[in-house]
Amino acid sequence: MSTVSINTDYEKKKEEWSEQQVVAALFKSALGAIVGNLINIFLAFYLLIQVFPLQPLLSWFIFGQCLNFFRVALLKGYSSNSARLSSKQWLRAHHVLTAVSGIHFGILATLFFHPDLPMYQAFIIMLVGGSGAAAVGTHGIDLTSYRLFLFLSTIPLIVRLMYDGTEVHHAVGIMLTLLIVVMHRTARQTEAAMVSNIEMSYSLRYRATHDTLVSLLNRDEFQNLYDEKQGQLAEDNINTLMFIDLDNFKQLNDLLGHHAGDDALRNVGDIIRANIRKTDIAARFGGDEFMICLHADHLDDAVVIGNKILNAVSEFGDGLVGDNPALSASIGIGYTRNQELSYASLLKVADQACYRAKREGKGKVCIQEAL
């Protein structure tokens, strides 16, 4: 059951990270897509104004510029503070604007495809088809984005070619349909390759920063994140390190074997994940030792979390080794309001508090301030 929980947690984190990377890649290429869109709109307006009434064409032109304004605003919002929205929300906003952009180009075929002007027809066909091909590079990492633009921009043109045109138009419509099929297949392969690379990168990154047995951070990454969070501390926050050392773990290993010991560690990892907050970070420190970093407004917050973990470990460990001493935990909490105190100094205090908890009978929480 614990292994399933760890795998589920890993898959969930991988999905979230992959989604973040997809969104980052889309917005990284967004400026190029916007510039290309801007150039195409100006070219279309410049050529078509010579043969079509000003009012409908100007409306189409202004609509396109408004769309580009919103796309630039979205890009600026993401670049300045991507944490403002979730990856799903950024992706949804990108999908909406991409769909509108596809509709905008699709309008060319419905309003400005004159049956008696073959050169202008060819321009629209090349503009729409070329934009669909170019979008593989800017939208290929997300097949939904690419489909929204490709289908909404090209299907109206194909319908117009097949419905209103001559045999030549029908042939061009068929060729454009085949081109769409090929481009869609290319986009699907592009997405698969890029997502596979992203997932592989996550796997390598995860193995470098996590303990693979319990799926918590390793001690090096824990210290790195601690240092990052230290710089984000509010002046009135209490900086807290919780040192957790399992009691009677060696007896469990000796009596039931290392497989049972590994399973117990995984369950303790699950217990820690279930009882800390999203803002807290936790790691396996080594062997049967674990660490948690908490930034709290009140020391009681850390004590409450410590007692929850203590009780859950005791409940899990009760009866594991028969009449022998049950698996439990001793927890030391080192805390300080000194923003300049080093990680090593606070860790030493948390370790001392944990040692005192063991010395005083195990299975308890001891608190010590770092001065």
Identify any residues that bridge with 241 across adjacent strands, giving them in sequence order.
Answer: 293, 334
Residue 255 structure tokens: 């009596």
Q: Are residues 45 and 166 both part of a single domain?
A: yes
Better-scored residue on pLDDT, 116 or 367: 367
Measured from the Cβ of residue 177, the count of other Cβ atoms closer than 10 Å reads 15
Q: Pick from 178, 208, 238: which residue ends a domain?
A: 208
Q: Pick from 154, 184, 208: which residue ends a domain?
A: 208
> Which residues make Cβ contacts (< 8 Å) with residue 49, sequence separation at least 6?
57
Domain that holds residue 287: 216-369
Domains of the chain: total: 2
Q: Are residues 161 and 282 both part of a single domain?
A: no
pLDDT at 345: 92
Better-scored residue on pLDDT, 319 or 128: 128
Is the pLDDT assigned to residue 258 strictly greater than 90? no
Over residues 83-99, the mean pLDDT reads 94
Is the pLDDT assigned to residue 121 strictly greater than 60? yes
What CATH number is given to the structural domain containing 350? 3.30.70.270
DSSP 248-261: SHHHHHHHH-HHHH
Task: Give the CB-side neighbour count of residue 283, counting CA atoms within 13 A.
Answer: 20
pLDDT at 308: 94
* Residues 274/215, Cβ–Cβ less than 8 Å: no
Helix (H/G/I), strand (E/B), else coil: 242: strand
Measured from the Cβ of residue 153, the count of other Cβ atoms closer than 10 Å reads 26
Q: Are residues 93 and 236 both part of a single domain?
A: no
Q: Amino acid identity of 341?
A: L
pLDDT at 322: 66
Q: Are residues 17 and 141 both part of a single domain?
A: yes
Is the pLDDT assigned to residue 3 strictly greater than 60? no
Q: Are residues 277 and 198 both part of a single domain?
A: no
Q: Are residues 50 and 182 both part of a single domain?
A: yes
Q: Are residues 15 and 127 both part of a single domain?
A: yes
Residue 331 parent element (H or E): strand 328-336
Over residues 182-189, the mean pLDDT reads 92
Residue 54 structure tokens: 């000003």
By the 10 Å C-beta count (0-12 exposed, 13-18 middle, 19+ buried), 278 is classed as exposed
User: Mean pLDDT across the chain, nearest whole number?
Assistant: 89
* Residues 79/24, Cβ–Cβ less than 8 Å: no
The predicted-structure confidence for 18-30, as pLDDT tens digits, reads as follows 999 999 999 999 9
The DSSP bridge pattern shows strands 238-247 and 281-286 to be: unpaired
Over residues 169-196, the mean pLDDT reads 91
Q: Are residues 16 and 117 both part of a single domain?
A: yes
Least trusted range by pLDDT, from 62-66, 115-119, 353-357: 115-119
Over residues 237-247, the mean pLDDT reads 91
The conformation of residue 112, written as its DSSP 8-state character, comes to S
Cα–Cα distance list, 103 to 30, 55, 61, 99, 354 (Å): 18, 19, 13, 6, 64
The DSSP bridge pattern shows strands 365-369 and 328-336 to be: parallel
Residue 325: pLDDT band (50, 70, 90) is confident
Ramachandran bin of 248, using left for φ above 0, alpha for ψ from -120 to 50, beta for the remaining angles: left
- Residue whose C-alpha is closest to residue 243's, from 146, 367, 98, 116: 367
The conformation of residue 216, written as its DSSP 8-state character, comes to E
Is the pLDDT assigned to residue 2 strictly greater than 60? no
pLDDT at 110: 85
Q: Are residues 190 and 298 both part of a single domain?
A: no
Give the range with max mean pLDDT: 94-108, 122-136, 191-205, 322-336. 94-108
Residue 333 and residue 358: Cα distance in Å, rounded? 13
DSSP 348-364: HHHHHHHHHHHHTTSSS
pLDDT at 15: 87
Provide the terminal-to-terminal Cα distance of the chain, rounded to the nearest Å. 42
pLDDT at 1: 44
Residue 327 and residue 249: Cα distance in Å, rounded? 6
pLDDT at 102: 95
pLDDT at 69: 96
Residue 15 and residue 35: Cα distance in Å, rounded? 31
Residue 164 and residue 155: Cα distance in Å, rounded? 14
Over residues 117-143, the mean pLDDT reads 90
Q: Pick from 208, 231, 258: which residue ends a domain?
A: 208
Over residues 232-251, the mean pLDDT reads 84
Helix (H/G/I), strand (E/B), else coil: 199: helix
> Which residues make Cβ contacts (< 8 Å) with residue 218, sequence separation at least 6?
209, 210, 211, 283, 284
Residue 118 structure tokens: 């073959």
Q: Are residues 48 and 137 both part of a single domain?
A: yes
Q: Are residues 24 and 170 both part of a single domain?
A: yes
* Residues 198/18, Cβ–Cβ less than 8 Å: yes
The predicted-structure confidence for 288-307, as pLDDT tens digits, reads as follows 999 999 887 788 889 999 99
High-pLDDT (> 90) share of the chain, %: 58
Q: Are residues 66 and 118 both part of a single domain?
A: yes
